[in-house]
Amino acid sequence: MPAALSMAMPARRAFARAALARRLSTGAQPPRVLVTGSLGQLGSTMVDALRARFGQANVVASDIRKPAPSQRASGPFVYADVLNRRALEQVIVDYGIDWVVHFSAILSAAGERNPALGLDVNINGFQNVLELARVHGLRVLSPSTIGAFGPTTPKDLTPDLTIMRPNTIYGISKVHMELLGEYYCEKYGVDFRSLRYPGIISADSPPGGGTTDYAIDIFHAALKHNRYTCFLQHDTRLPMAYITDCVAGTMQLLEAPQDALTQRVYNVHACDFSPEELVAEVRRQHSADFAIEYCPDFRQAIADTWPRTMADAPARRDWGWNPTLGTADIVRIMLAKLHPVYEQAAAAAESSAAAEAEAPAVVV
Ligand SMILES: NC(=O)C1=CN([C@@H]2O[C@H](COP(=O)(O)OP(=O)(O)OC[C@H]3O[C@@H](n4cnc5c(N)ncnc54)[C@H](O)[C@@H]3O)[C@@H](O)[C@H]2O)C=CC1
Ligand SMILES: CC(=O)[C@H](N)C(=O)O
C-alpha cells in the first residue's frame, strides 16, 4: 500500500490542508477555477466560497444568463454555453483554468418537462467539459444527486454501490455522468470527482426546477401567506442539506489529495425529513396556525423513486464530510434570513399604497 494510503484519515486531511496552505502561503499559484452554471441555486454561493479561498480573480463565473450587477462586481463573469465546446475551450485557455466546477444542469422536474433539453445539457454539456479536461489536464468536480437512484434501489441507508436504474431523464443523465467520469479517470487519468447531493436548501437564490424545491418554497409561502400547497405527499421522506454544509463538503472534496480518494463518486447525507415533519417545525418556530394542503403532482412519482436516507461512511472517512445542520437548524436559519426580506417588502408595499391613496385624483 502506498505510504499516503496507509496514513490515518485525520492525519491525511490535516496533511492536505497543510499542503494547500503551504502552496497558498509560499507564493505558489492557487488554482484557477471555472464555475459553469454559476447563476443557479448553488452556483453563486459556490463562487463566493471559491473566491474567498482562492482569490476573486482566480474564480471565473459563467452561465448563459445575465448576472445581476452585484454578481458581476464580485469577480470575472463570462457567457459560456456548455453545449459549445469551442467557446468553452476558449474560456479555459484564455483564463488558464486548472479546475472546473461544473454546475450547469437541468434538474429533475425541469428535465421531465423538457427531456430533450435535459439530455442535451446534462449529457452533451458534461461530455464537453470532460473532453476539455482530458485535453487540458483539468480537475473536474461535477455533482451527482440522490436522483441517480431509482425505484429498485434500496431506500434506507442507500449505499454508494447499489442498484442504479433511475427512470427520469435527470437520473439517467447523472448515472451517465458518474460512469463516464470514472471511465475518463481510469482511461485518461482525468481527475474527476463527484458527490451525490441530497435536496439543497438555501435562502439566497431560488431553486432551479427540482423535486425537492418544496422544502424552499414552503418558507416563502409561510412568510408571505401563512399557508402552502405542497406538491408532494405529507409522508414523502427525502434526504436534504443546508447550502453551507453542501458548499463546505464540495470544497473539501475539491481540495482533497488524489490519494485520499478511494472512489470517484460519494454519497453525502446530512438530514432527512418529510413535508409533514417540516410543517411541524415551521409551526413550532414560526406560526402555530400555518396551514398546509397536500396536492401531489407529477413530482410525487419522481420522489417515490429516491432514497429516504443515504449511507455516507466513505465520504466521511476519505475527505472529511461532516455536515452540522439538521432539520430544526435549517428551519431556524431559513426563517431568520427570509423574515427581514418579507418585512421590508410588506413595508414598501404599505408605503406605496399610502402614497397612492394620498395622491390627488387626476381628472381627465
Ligand atoms: N439544488 C439541488 O438541490 C441539487 C443540485 N444538484 C446538482 O448541483 C448542480 C447545480 O444545481 P443548481 O444550482 O440547483 O441548478 P440550477 O438549475 O439552479 O442552475 C443550473 C444553471 O445551469 C445553467 N445552464 C443551463 N443550461 C446551460 C448551458 N447550456 N450552458 C451553461 N449553463 C447552463 C442555468 O442557466 C442555471 O443557472 C447541478 O449539477 C445539479 O444537478 C444535485 C442535487 C441537488
Ligand atoms: C435532489 C436534486 O437533484 C434536485 N434538488 C432535484 O430535486 O431535482
Residue 124 DSSP symbol: I
Nearest alpha carbon to residue 145 among 42, 30, 29, 69: 42
Distance (angstroms) between ligand 2 centre and the Cα of 59 equals: 25
Ligand 1 pocket: which residues have CB below 6 Å?
A: 36-37, 39-43, 63-65, 81-83, 103-105, 107, 121, 125, 143, 145, 197, 199-200, 208-210, 212
Secondary structure of residue 213 in the 3-state scheme: coil
Ligand 1 pocket, mutate which of 77, 107, 175 (most atoms under 8 A from CB) = 107
| Contact (CB, 8 A) for 275 and 211 | no
Nearest alpha carbon to residue 154 among 1, 305, 258, 45: 305
| Contact (CB, 8 A) for 93 and 51 | no
What is the CB neighbour count within 10 angstroms for residue 78? 16
Question: Which ligand 1 atom is the nearest neighbour of the CA of 106?
Answer: 17
Distance (angstroms) between ligand 2 centre and the Cα of 208 equals: 9
Helices marked H in 189-326 — which ranges?
A: 214-225, 243-255, 275-285, 298-303, 313-319
Question: Which ligand 1 atom is the nearest neighbour of the CA of 43?
Answer: 13
The answer to whether the complex's ipTM is over 0.90 is yes
- Structure-block grid coordinates of residue 79: 457567457
Nearest alpha carbon to residue 197 among 132, 261, 156, 146: 146
Nearest ligand, CA 113: 2
Task: List, for the chain, all residue ranges whose pLDDT scores fall below the cut of 50.
Answer: 1-16
CA trace torsion 317, 242, 175, 125 (10° rounding):
-120
* CA-nearest residue, atom 1 of ligand 2: 199
The DSSP-derived string for 81-117 is -TT-HHHHHHHHHHTT--EEEE-----HHHHHH-HHH
Q: How deeply is 159 buried, as exposed, middle or buried, from its count of CB atoms within 10 A (0-12, 13-18, 19+)?
A: middle
Nearest alpha carbon to residue 282 among 215, 235, 231, 237: 215
* CA-nearest residue, atom 2 of ligand 1: 200
Of the chain, the end-to-end C-alpha distance in Å amounts to 89
Question: Which ligand 2 atom is the nearest neighbour of the CA of 207?
Answer: 5
Helices H, strands E: what count in the chain? Answer: 15, 13
Q: Is 106 in the pocket of ligand 2 (CB under 6 A)?
A: no
Ligand 2 pocket, mutate which of 112, 145, 250 (most atoms under 8 A from CB) = 145
pLDDT of 3 reads: 37
pLDDT of 356 reads: 81
pLDDT of 53 reads: 98
Distance (angstroms) between ligand 2 centre and the Cα of 223 equals: 23
For all residues of the chain together, what is the average pLDDT? 93
CA distance 155 to 173: 20
Nearest alpha carbon to residue 110 among 80, 137, 145: 145
294 is annotated as an active-site residue: no
CA trace torsion 11, 17, 20, 24 (10° rounding):
-140
pLDDT of 285 reads: 98
Distance (angstroms) between ligand 1 centre and the Cα of 8 equals: 35
Question: pLDDT > 90: what percent of the chain?
Answer: 85
Q: Is 145 in the pocket of ligand 2 (CB under 6 A)?
A: yes
* CA-nearest residue, atom 14 of ligand 1: 41
Distance (angstroms) between ligand 1 centre and the Cα of 151 equals: 23
| Chain segment 14-32, per-residue pLDDT in tens | 444 555 555 555 557 899 9
The DSSP-derived string for 17-73 is HHHHHHHHHTTPPPPPEEEETTTSTTHHHHHHHHHHHH-GGGEEEEESSPPPHHHHH
Active-site choice (79, 95, 170, 214): 170
Residues 6+ apart with CB under 8 A from 246: 42, 197, 200, 270
